[in-house]
Structure 1
Amino acid sequence: MAGPHPVGDPAPLDGLIPASAAIGASERDFGVYLHVPFCKVRCGYCDFNTYTATELRGVKQSDYASQAVLEVGAAARILAESGVPARPAATVFFGGGTPTLLPADHLVRMLHAVRDTVGIVPGAEITTEANPDSVDLVYLRQLKQAGFTRVSFGMQSAVPRVLATLERTHDPERVPLVVAWAREAGLDVSLDLIYGTPGETIDDWRASLDAAIGQQPDHISAYSLIVEDGTKLARQIRRGELVQPDEDLQADFYELADAHLAEAGYSWYEVSNWSRGIEHRSRHNLSYWRSADWWGIGPGAHSHVGGVRWWNVKHPAAYADRILAGHSPAAGRETLDAATRETERVLLLTRIREGIQVSTLSVLGRREVAGLIADQLIDARAAIGGTVELTLTGRLLADAVVRRLLTDR
């Protein structure tokens, strides 16, 4: 289970959000995220808000879709009563947990609720995450027929020893099967990889990259393993059972990934994401980096509308109690001030390939651009053209670049 909630203000039981959230809303994209908080087993590194069958305190997974549908309806009502103009969803994303632990028709019910209540724009991107051992061809065909356009498989590694350290349960040989089934069903495919697992070698990582590229997915994500406090992995490292991931080796992993992926025709568009062409970028994730609006459905889900951010109660039992009582499941919220919104804007836009416009930075931030060019952290040609775009070295040091752009010196 994930760590504590952010510090914020209590959220009202009616869920209404401040009128300030409506300002400029018609000019921002709107998306819907549906969190399915169930996993067959808990991976040792995972800090997401997920629950195995023994942790549900009597809640039934089979009831969850109906509860989520109720929150979808509440979302439409709350936005309307808060004065936020109605906007159909440009993207819908099912994440978890493992959404595909639920029967396909449960995901379809939730998607239909979004379509019937909020609306979905023509040509919207509709994605679900999936574990390779949680779907088959029939399942994927059901999703496609309902309007899903994309599936993101948690491959993580092609090396059994690395998967065992991560406590992933799927057989790596199943990945080619599920990718082929997704293709046959007519879905775009993304593969998620993790690098820097304790004991993973550069040859292990190269094998995983080669295996992923060999499936010719439309999109590949490669994330550095983060050791989160409170996880089993953190305890194993603290006890000396596993070795803390080495930062220099993780940089080597990243550079290898970028080189291999570029050679195979994938272009980076965000620090941890590569795609075959602009049309295969994750539009839903881009909406986060561009500070668009989204409503998060489900236990622990976060939402953001017009600088107002809130988060739901975490446990599925608490979530069910709130929803069935007709109350908002929001546990807390915060209204971001102008300074915080600016910090987040710079932080998020700097991570994507299109970067951030130099002209929108503070005077002090603009003064840092020349030094960032000299340090080879941003692309000189792009900067001369008015855009901060990270170089390969800059991507490895993205947080440092952001700190300099936000400098108060």
Structure 2
Amino acid sequence: MLDSTYVTDYIDSHLGQRQVNKIQHGFPSPRYWTGTTVPVDEITEDRGRLRRAGQASEVFLYIGVPYCIRTDPGKCGYCLFPVEEFKGNDALEDYYGYVEREAELYRERLAGTRLGSAYFGGGTSNLYRPAHYLKIMELVNRLFPDVAAGADLTLEGIPQLFTRDKMQAIRDSGMNRVSMGVQQVNERLNSLSGRRQTTRHVTQSLDWAREFGLAANVDVIFGWPQQTVETMLADLRTLVSWDVHDITHYELNVGGPTDFALNRFHELPSTLSNLEMYRAGRDYLLEQGYEQHGAYSFRKPGDPASRDFREGYRPQLHDVADVVGLGYAAISFFGAAVLGPGRSWSYINQRNLARYKAMIDEGRLPVERAFRHEPDDWVLATVFRHLLSMGLDRPGLRAAMGVDVYDEFATVWDGLAARGLAEVTPERITLVGDGPFYTPMVSTLLAEERYRALREREVGQQKERLVPAGEGAGHVG
């Protein structure tokens, strides 16, 4: 356990630093995923044993698209995800044929598994022609004949690519939600991304979603170049006036060889300005009747199209939720921790499109990198996911993992509580006040000891690879 003085100093020194979201891939960071294969038969056996024992949870399905429309600057100026430039529907439909074949590699192995929710992301998933959304749902139903009642089936897209025909086809396919990456309602600020999105694109897409009874989530970003608290609030006021019930309001991640990092870093709001934006946005939405369901998610009750929306990358309490990722760069997570240590896996599909296709042509799962979780890794991966909902159910997680998440990280929780960032009770640990804004810092601190061990292991492995054949302890030159 981390020393309490170290925790205090760490928190104090990081409160004024820019937050970088380290939760997207769970724990650990993909840089530590060094395996190149996964034991599919072992995973299948584990899920079968859980299912027969009545312990298998529902799974979350992710299907990705590699393509995005071309922008100048590239990748909308900020995106850190691997994507390919869209060059037409023929290439997109050829790619989707490979996704169908990848799904077939899982179908028998997942027999009897219930689908809890699904997310069709990217890239840009509303690039497909209207008729293709039925094909996507046909794939889902072949893979998972048993779909949970009220399952959330969400398609992600950008406003300027929706059409009325597409929205109707999305509804007719069986999908029930669209998630719109609006990013900035303000047209001038949005133009910095190279997108040609207009206010009319957004309002028209929302109108079509309502016409066909689809729930609609809107994503907007704060911490954008040249953004102020007032322009941020103006965007939120506009969304509220449009009667948007689900709003995801998250901080811009800046890094890598992106235009915003290389050429507009000086235009970014300061860390303290970002904190002010978080506070002002949160307080405004709460005043307008929204409920905060996660660090970045707000929902107003009463949406006639809304269902029991569940964010896919977070396990349900008392469950061990698995993620099946299909497509280019998709991430999968199989976590049968109740079967014993070392039975939990994270892996990412090929981020080279040609290699992704070649492996499927060879009849293999297109795994690029994998990581077998040890017990400590599983606990951290689960805690990371639950942090997105701002709280940890201690009894529920104890039942799922056999450990008390307070006892495991007591000095961290106590340090956060002393600064008004967390509350600890026998039933729950909750991020409060500015705590949700600092979720990335909290996750980094929780993982500090384990990351030290992983770095030491990595250095040891590198040294072993550098030792010439024949040398080592006991060798006489």
Pick the TM interval, shorter chain: 0.7 to 0.9
CA-to-partner distance for each residue in 1:128-154, whole Å, 9 max, x for gaps?
A: 001101112221111111111100011
* Cα separation, partners in 2 of 1:293 and 1:156, compared to 1, 3 Å: same
* Cα separation, partners in 2 of 1:355 and 1:69, compared to 1, 3 Å: same
* Cα separation, partners in 2 of 1:316 and 1:371, compared to 1, 3 Å: closer
Report 1:6-405 matches (<5 A): 7-11=33-37, 16-18=41-43, 21-22=46-47, 24=50, 26-41=55-70, 42-53=75-86, 60-77=91-108, 79-80=109-110, 86-119=112-145, 120-237=147-264, 242-277=266-301, 282-285=309-312, 287=314, 292-306=321-335, 307-357=344-394, 360-363=404-407, 365-366=409-410, 369-379=413-423, 383-384=424-425, 386-402=427-443
CA-to-partner distance for each residue in 1:189-235, whole Å, 9 max, x for gaps?
A: 10000111111111210111111122222311011111121223222
Query: 1:221 aligns to what SS in structure 2?
Result: strand
**Is contact 1:376-1:391 (8 Å) kept?**
yes
Query: 1:153 aligns to what SS in structure 2?
Result: strand
TM-score by length of 2: 0.75
Amino acid at match of 1:52: E
How far the C-alpha of 1:324 sits from its partner, in A, is: 3.0
* Cα separation, partners in 2 of 1:21 and 1:252, compared to 1, 3 Å: farther
- Distance in 2 between residues matched to 1:294 and 1:70, nearest whole Å: 18
- Distance in 1 between residues matched to 2:150 and 2:430, nearest whole Å: 29
* Cα separation, partners in 2 of 1:96 and 1:157, compared to 1, 3 Å: same
Give the number of equivalent residue pairs: 392
Amino acid at match of 1:155: V
2:339 maps to none
**Is contact 1:165-1:197 (8 Å) kept?**
no
- Distance in 2 between residues matched to 1:122 and 1:350, nearest whole Å: 26
- Distance in 2 between residues matched to 1:245 and 1:292, nearest whole Å: 37
Greater alpha carbon shift after TM alignment, 181-190 vs 343-352: 343-352
How far the C-alpha of 1:405 sits from its partner, in A, is: 5.9
Identity in percent: 21
Amino acid at match of 2:95: Y
**Is contact 2:350-2:356 (8 Å) kept?**
yes
How far the C-alpha of 1:310 sits from its partner, in A, is: 1.2
How far the C-alpha of 1:177 sits from its partner, in A, is: 1.1
TM-score by length of 1: 0.87
How far the C-alpha of 1:165 sits from its partner, in A, is: 1.5
Greater alpha carbon shift after TM alignment, 168-177 vs 202-211: 168-177
- Unaligned regions of 5+ residues in structure 1, if any? none
**Is contact 1:268-1:353 (8 Å) kept?**
no
**Is contact 1:17-1:308 (8 Å) kept?**
no
Amino acid at match of 2:113: R
Greater alpha carbon shift after TM alignment, 318-327 vs 254-263: 318-327
**Is contact 1:155-1:175 (8 Å) kept?**
yes
* Cα separation, partners in 2 of 1:385 and 1:216, compared to 1, 3 Å: farther
How far the C-alpha of 1:343 sits from its partner, in A, is: 1.8
How far the C-alpha of 1:16 sits from its partner, in A, is: 4.2
- Unaligned regions of 5+ residues in structure 2, if any? 1-28, 336-343, 399-403, 450-477
* Cα separation, partners in 2 of 1:30 and 1:295, compared to 1, 3 Å: same
* Cα separation, partners in 2 of 1:340 and 1:155, compared to 1, 3 Å: same
Query: 1:392 aligns to what SS in structure 2?
Result: coil
How far the C-alpha of 1:403 sits from its partner, in A, is: 5.8
* Cα separation, partners in 2 of 1:370 and 1:288, compared to 1, 3 Å: closer
CA-to-partner distance for each residue in 1:313-349, whole Å, 9 max, x for gaps?
A: 1133222222233222112211111011112222332
* Cα separation, partners in 2 of 1:407 and 1:133, compared to 1, 3 Å: closer
- Distance in 2 between residues matched to 1:254 and 1:375, nearest whole Å: 18
How far the C-alpha of 1:253 sits from its partner, in A, is: 0.9
* Cα separation, partners in 2 of 1:393 and 1:20, compared to 1, 3 Å: farther
CA-to-partner distance for each residue in 1:36-70, whole Å, 9 max, x for gaps?
A: 1111123110112211136x9x9811212222111
Amino acid at match of 1:305: F
